[in-house]
Amino acid sequence: VKSSIGCFFLDTCILISEILNENNPRIQKLKKDAAFHDVRCYVSDSVEKETEKKVKETTDFLGNAIKDTLCIHLVESRKGRKIPIPDPMTNDDIKALEELFYGFQTAVRKSGIALPNPLSSIEEWVISYLSEKLDEGRKIGIDEFAVDLVKSILKLTGSIQDSYDYLISFEKGFVKKRSVILNPKTVYDVDMLGVHNLDSEHIASAVENQRNSSEKTAFVTLDFSTILSKCDNIRTTLGIECCDPLYALHHLL
């Protein structure tokens, strides 16, 4: 019987890419390597929790952006222009949205926040959708427009839920859940290396697994800025390999 060469502990970004069916070539290689060399891919409790949380947060953020930002702005803009609210949408409504998004971009730049502005992604999606409808000559009211957008999110989140359950909840894909009792000292040690929040728990789970099972464990992530950039320090201090999925197998061999 061939003994296992070790196992992978996967980061949230790997699972998210999988449940969104992104077909990331790096992850495809990881899956192929894992299957060929019989390497188990595990998901820790903290990764499972974070994945679920991120899907929920994103769903709610998108919903609120449509309901509380786009719709309200469109209605206010029409009130200002004295256009009846139930009238079909026109190019002027697109310009009203342009004004809204421009205002947001300016505010974000002025605030000096270095984070990417999520609204620019929404802007591209919403404006492309609306101009496509106008090009088709479809008469669409603000309410109908909002319902259409929300419907498309719900349709997508329904399919994300299927992938999530298949892969994580019911463990039917290439990953298995593994609960590891976390040692607060290990979490603290990871945190001291500049890896914070849940990431420290994800890595600490891999560390504990390696210590408790004597199974060589690699923590696999696509997160360069927070984790991979510190992989040397993490290896030296905690003895765990943190690697990109493309190279994960080669850290076990």
Q: Which residues bind another protein (CB under 8 A)?
A: 13, 16, 20-22, 53-65, 67-69, 71, 104, 108, 113, 115-119, 121-122, 124-125, 128-129, 143, 146-148, 150-163, 165-166, 169-170, 172
Residue 88 CB, nearest distance to another protein (Å)?
18
| DSSP H helical ranges for the chain | 12-19, 25-36, 45-64, 72-81, 91-111, 118-135, 142-164, 184-192, 197-213, 231-238, 248-252
Shorter beta-carbon distance to another protein: residue 9 or 164: 164
Q: List C-alpha distances in Å: 180 to 45, 143, 213.
A: 8, 48, 10
Of the candidates 185, 212, 215, 179, the residue with the CA atom closest to the CA atom of residue 200: 185
Residue 77 CB, nearest distance to another protein (Å)?
16
Residue 185 CB, nearest distance to another protein (Å)?
26
CB atoms within 10 A of CB 85: 11
Shorter beta-carbon distance to another protein: residue 154 or 253: 154
Residue 62 CB, nearest distance to another protein (Å)?
7
Shorter beta-carbon distance to another protein: residue 7 or 220: 220
Is 166 strand, coil or helix? helix
Contact 6, 252 (CB under 8 A): yes
Shorter beta-carbon distance to another protein: residue 129 or 247: 129
Residue 238 CB, nearest distance to another protein (Å)?
23
Residue 111 CB, nearest distance to another protein (Å)?
9
Shorter beta-carbon distance to another protein: residue 142 or 252: 142
Shorter beta-carbon distance to another protein: residue 190 or 252: 190
Which residues share a beta bridge with 67? none
Shorter beta-carbon distance to another protein: residue 96 or 249: 96
| Position 166, amino acid | Y
| C-alpha to C-alpha distance for 253 and 251, rounded to whole angstroms | 6
Residue 118 CB, nearest distance to another protein (Å)?
5
CB atoms within 10 A of CB 39: 21
Torsion, Cα 111 117 123 124, to 10 degrees, reads: 140
Q: Are strands 40-43 and 175-177 parallel, antiparallel or unpaired?
A: parallel
